[in-house]
Amino acid sequence: MEVIMKKIVLLTVCLFTVFSVFAQGNTETTDNGEIVLELARFFGDPDDSLMDSTDLSKANSEAAAVQILTNIFNKEHAGSIRVEKLGGSEWGSYYDQLNTTFASGNPPDVAVMHQTNMPAYASRGLLVDLEGLLANQGIQMDDWTAPAKVAVSYDGTIYGSPFDLHANLLHVNVDIFNEAGLVDSEGVPILPNNVEEFYAQAEIVRQKTGKLYWVEDATQFPISYRLFHSLMEQQGVSIVDTDSNTVNVNTDAGRRALEFMNERFSRGYSDPNLDYTGAQQVFMNGGAAIELNGTWVVDMYNRELDFEYRAMNFPALMGDQKVWASSHMWVVPVQKEKDAHYEAAAAFAAFMNRHVYEWAVGTGHIAPNMSALEKLAEDNVPQRANYARTASIASTFPPVLNYAMIETIIKEEIETCWLLGVPVEEALEKAQKRIEGVIR
């Protein structure tokens, strides 16, 4: 209830401030017939030198890549369609601000959205069915990967144009693995294939190098939730079964997952007190063999680390090889008396889907189109071949209307095990009851 009240207060405040973040006004048509589309997105802003750039060679971050691609679209459609970015929201506050535009009756014409957030909007009739519109733009939906198709669909309808899959990876210090004798004949790190091998490798690394085996953000962002999700999916159990509307947290699969997560800390193979920046710095400074983090850091690590670095697929520790993933997509909000502009909005969404290769090259994210994945492999883009399999083992959360609350509950409860010493059974029982209260 406290979380809900905070969101209500924040939403009320945003009603009075939203247009300082998102530009005022509706979709416009200029005197010369040019359609002006309002675009809501996060990703931040690049430096000023790139705000008008169309040079894709400079697209080396999310902010730079999305801005440059938008600039290219505007150049190609000069005189007919122009996209204007609204605000520069950080992803942490983006949805509160986006919700305010819907509440005020002036949603943007195109918006970026996560796969986990989309169902809450689609279920309320706030998003346009894009299947026909994208087909009109020449988009070949059979080129989308299976996880991408699942990500943009809700209740049998396509509501998004996929932009990527972003997932957890293992970021590996090859020098430490080599020192520990845990590489194959070609010098590639040998990852564990089950929990027992994980502990065996962790002890070898400690004995031979004195370094931590594994680091992750264990206190700040929901990295712990994402690991829990991955381990549950590897056991063939979803956190929430949407068919039966049941919660599977306080189960044998949940206990196996959380006991393993907690024991890594109790055995001293990882540091339970690290936040996102702390874990990243330990890894970047050469203090750990592995960091659990996402696709979004691959290029930065590849450029900046002074040891041999390799991005790798998350291994099968508890059964099938599955790993947490989400998706960025472009959606078209339903507008009042603006049907004529949906084609223009779909043209932008389709353009971005046709340029997922450039987005993947610039960000490290996984392209949602099979043709783009093939081209990435052919072009030998650094590190991409090392985690290409993640495109097929990616496991997104089932479509629910209150994902954010479920994610927060799991993060809060499981972290009490290593931060407060709460028994695994108690943490799972509390998480189970709280989530049941949310989905009922």
pLDDT computed for residue 350 by the predictor: 98
Query: Please, what is the average pLDDT of the chain?
Result: 90
CATH class of residue range 2-165+326-388: alpha beta
306-363, pLDDT tens digit by residue? 999 999 999 999 999 999 999 999 999 999 876 678 999 999 999 999 999 999 999 9
Give the DSSP H or E segment for 15. helix 2-17
Distances (CA, A) of 7 to 4, 14, 16, 115, 438: 5, 10, 15, 21, 15
On the question of pLDDT at 77 being above 60, the answer is yes
Collapsing DSSP to helix, strand or coil, 326 comes out as strand
pLDDT computed for residue 33 by the predictor: 82
pLDDT computed for residue 93 by the predictor: 79
pLDDT computed for residue 328 by the predictor: 96
CB atoms within 10 A of CB 371: 14
Between 6-15, 149-158, 260-269, 325-334, the lowest mean confidence (pLDDT) is in: 6-15
On the question of pLDDT at 115 being above 70, the answer is yes
Q: Place 98 in a pLDDT band, splitting at 50, 70 and 90.
A: very high
363-399, pLDDT tens digit by residue? 999 999 999 999 998 999 999 999 989 988 999 888 8
Residues in the chain: 440
Amino acid letter, residue 401: L
On the question of pLDDT at 106 being above 70, the answer is yes
262: its two tokens:
């907690």
Q: Which residue has the tokens 């971050």?
A: 61
% of the chain beyond a pLDDT of 70: 90
Q: Rg (Cα) of the chain, in Å, rounded?
A: 22
pLDDT computed for residue 404 by the predictor: 87
Domains 2-165+326-388 and 167-325+398-439 equal at CATH topology level:
yes
What is the domain partition of the chain in residue ranges?
2-165+326-388, 167-325+398-439
User: Mean pLDDT over residues 406-425, rounded?
Assistant: 97
CB atoms within 10 A of CB 58: 17
pLDDT computed for residue 313 by the predictor: 97
pLDDT computed for residue 391 by the predictor: 87
> In degrees, to the nearest 5, what angle opens at C-alpha 410 toward C-alphas 405 and 414?
155
pLDDT computed for residue 18 by the predictor: 38
179-193, pLDDT tens digit by residue? 999 999 999 999 999
Distance CA 57, CA 54 (A): 9
Architecture of domain 167-325+398-439: 3-Layer(aba) Sandwich (3.40)
Distance CA 272, CA 287 (A): 15
pLDDT computed for residue 87 by the predictor: 62
Integer distance in angstroms from the first to the last C-alpha of the chain?
A: 15
Cβ 345 vs Cβ 127: under 8 Å:
no
